[in-house]
Each structure stands twice: as structure tokens, then as C-alpha cells.
Amino acid sequence: MEDQVFEEELKRKSATVEQVIRRYLPKDDGGYAKKIREAMCYSMEVGGKRLRPLLMYESYHLFGGESAIVEPFMAAIEMIHTHSLIHDDLPAIDNDDLRRGKPTTHAVYGEPMALLAGDALLNYAYETAFQSFLYIYGRDDFQETGERIVEALRTLSEKTGIRGMLAGQSVDVENEKSGHLSIDRDMLDYIYEYKTSKLIEAPLEIGAILAGADKSDLFCMNDLGKKIGLAFQIQDDILDVTGDEKELGKPLHSDERNEKTTYVTLFGVDGARAKVEVLTEQAVGILETVPGDTAFLIRLVKELAGRTK
């Protein structure tokens, strides 16, 4: 895909994703709980790459989906992701004061409110995803599409919880400051597969589920999510060392400060880069086997390998 075509498509799709996310943010109801709503929206509105909802949008359309049922799920995955970042940045976890180019939620609203806002965002994600049913009431395909929505909800919750992102985050915190030798490659891969890949598998699989893709396509999306997620986290490790703070929008050397084992501490920057390349090739290889137009996704995956933010 040509550069200009890709840039235009990315711009157009990102604008759609952004619109959807903003539509589902909680509104001010005039009550006393103003602050928590404000804190929830703060990090959501600052923005980010919006990679996960974009992947969901792509996967849904790739497998022929064409209704609005995917939209609440697109907003929900970004809420869950943002919840994970608000909590990840807390003094008790990574203790970072910059996120998406702005002071972190706890730096602005204080730790107690950031903790609650993170929880509330996680809960609001499910409140939002449930709204998907509103699009199908009274429709002839209520039964069939309803079952897809239930499966999508199950997938979303599984990939977030103790069989997903939170499992990875838990092993990640357990092992920091424990000396670089205590974590081997196997355990590091476990951490990355769970803390990062699960929330990349989720949108790819949910898009496919909602569109009614078959089992083998779902398997493909799972495999694709694993590869993209692992490459994405290794690139994140690299950027923590070699990135530009202004562009990255988060503090450099957070991993070193927290004495984390990463792909960079195990294999060096060059070794880590080589791994990103291999995983990216594998991800592209998977996409080449999927019927339908995957040109945009292929290009997106390649861009991620060289990302600087």
C-alpha cells in the first residue's frame, strides 16, 4: 500500500475511532460525583494511539461486519486499556508522572481519585459494551447476533482479568526489583503475552466474533494478536531506552528505575529489535493467509515495528 493512501486511510479511520470513543464517554449528570467522571475522562480525552479500537474496527470489517454493534465494544476496549494505564502509572506500580504527553491521572487528581477512576473506567467499559444489545432489539437476527455479543463480552472480560492482562500485570509487579537474573525468557514471555498481547488479541477476536467469522479465522486473529502484542511490548521496551520523551509522551528509563527485566536487558537493543522484526514478519505472514483485503492491516503492523511513540 502506497504511503499516501495509507496515511489517508489511517487518518480517516482514526477520526471514526475517535468519534466513537468520545460518544460513549460518561456524561456529567449534575450530581456530586463530578470529580470521578472528570478523572475518568481526563486520560481518555488526552488520547493515545487508539490502536486497540482501530484493530477491532479493522477486524470487524475484514470479516464482513457492517452494523453499529461493534462501536460500544470499540469504546470499551479503549476504556479498559486506559484503566490499565492509569493503574500502571500509580506510585504503587510504575510510579510514572507523564502519560500521553500530560501529567498522569494521579498527578492531577491525587492517588485516591486515580485509583477510583481506574476502577470506574473498567466497570464503565462493561456498562458500555452491554449497550451493544440496544442495536439489535426487535431485529430478526436478535438470537444469532445476541449470541455473538455474549461471546464478545465473554472474550472481553476473559482477556482483561486473571486469565488476561491483570495476570500479566501481577507477575510483572511481583518480579520487579528482584534482580535481572530472576526472570528468564519464559517468564518474560508470559508477562508480555498476558499484560500486553491479551488486550491486542481481544479487539482482533471481538471484531471477528461480532462479524460472525468462523473458528479458523478466530484462531488466526488470536495468533495475530499474540505476535503483534509481543512485538509491541518489545518495541515499548526499546523506546523506554532509546525514545524521545516528548514524542513518546511518557518518561524514559521507567523500566531501569523500577529494575525491570525486559527484552532490552536480556538481549540488548539490537537483539530486541531483531525480535520485533521477526514477530512483525510472522504477523504479516498470518495476515497474508486471511482472505479479504488486509493491505491496510499489513501496513499498520509494519508501521508499528518502527514506531517512535
Site map for ligand IPE, 86-105, x if CB under 6 A? --x-----x-----x-----
226 touches ligand IPE (CB under 6 A): no
Q: Which is nearer to Mg ion, 16 or 258 (CB)?
A: 258
**Site membership for ligand IPE, residue 13 (CB under 6 A):** no
Question: Which of 137, 86, 79 is CA-nearest to residue 109?
Answer: 86
Smallest distance from the beta carbon of 43 to Mg ion, in angstroms?
A: 13
What is the DSSP track for 136-160?
A: TTT-TTHHHHHHHHHHHHHHHHHHH
Binding at 51: pick from Mg ion, ligand IPE, none (beta carbon under 5-8 Å per type)? ligand IPE
* Residue 47, all three cell numbers: 488520547
Work out whether 225 is an interface residue with ligand IPE (CB under 6 A). no
DSSP state of 28: P
Nearest to 262 by CA among 242, 246, 282, 283: 242
Stretch that binds ligand IPE, among 79-87, 119-127, 180-188, 296-304 (CB under 6 A): 79-87
291 Cβ neighbours under 8 A, 6+ residues apart: none
Contact partner at residue 13 from Mg ion, ligand IPE, none, CB < 5 to 8 Å by partner kind: none
Identify how many contiguous H helices and E strands the chain contains and give both numbers.
Answer: 15, 2
Residues 173 and 255: beta-carbon distance below 8 Å: no
**Residue of closest CB approach to ligand IPE:** 48
Nearest distance from C-beta of residue 269 to ligand IPE, angstroms: 16
DSSP 196-256: IIHHHHHHHHHHHHHHT--HHHHHHHHHHHHHHHHHHHHHHHHHHHHS-HHHH-S-TTHHH
Whose Cβ is closer to Mg ion: residue 88's or residue 205's? 88
- The option from Mg ion, ligand IPE, none interacting with 193 (CB < 5 to 8 A, set by class) reads none
* Backbone phi, psi, residue 221, to 5°: -65, -35
Position 84 contacts ligand IPE (CB under 6 A)? yes
Nearer to ligand IPE, 77 or 220 (CB): 77
The number of residues that bind ligand IPE (CB under 6 A) is: 17
**Residue, CB closest to Mg ion:** 94
Residues of the shown chain interacting with Mg ion in the complex, contacts defined by CB under 5 A? 88, 94, 236, 240
Q: CA-to-CA distance for 297 and 288, rounded, in angstroms?
A: 10
Under DSSP, the state recorded for 73 is H
Name which position in 20, 41, 51, 115 contacts ligand IPE (CB under 6 A): 51
Nearer to Mg ion, 139 or 253 (CB): 253
Binding residues among 136-175 for ligand IPE as defined by CB under 6 A: 165, 169
User: Shortest Cβ distance from residue 247 to ligand IPE (Å)?
Assistant: 12
Mapped onto helix, strand or coil, the DSSP state of residue 183 is coil
Which grid coordinates are listed for 116? Answer: 477510583
93 Cβ neighbours under 8 A, 6+ residues apart: 87, 169, 173
Of residues 108 and 146, the one with the C-beta less far from ligand IPE: 108
Hey, which residues between 251 and 290 contact ligand IPE (CB under 6 A)?
A: 254
- In the complex, the residues that contact ligand IPE under the rule CB under 6 A are 48-49, 51, 81, 84-85, 88, 94, 100, 165, 169, 195-196, 233, 236, 250, 254
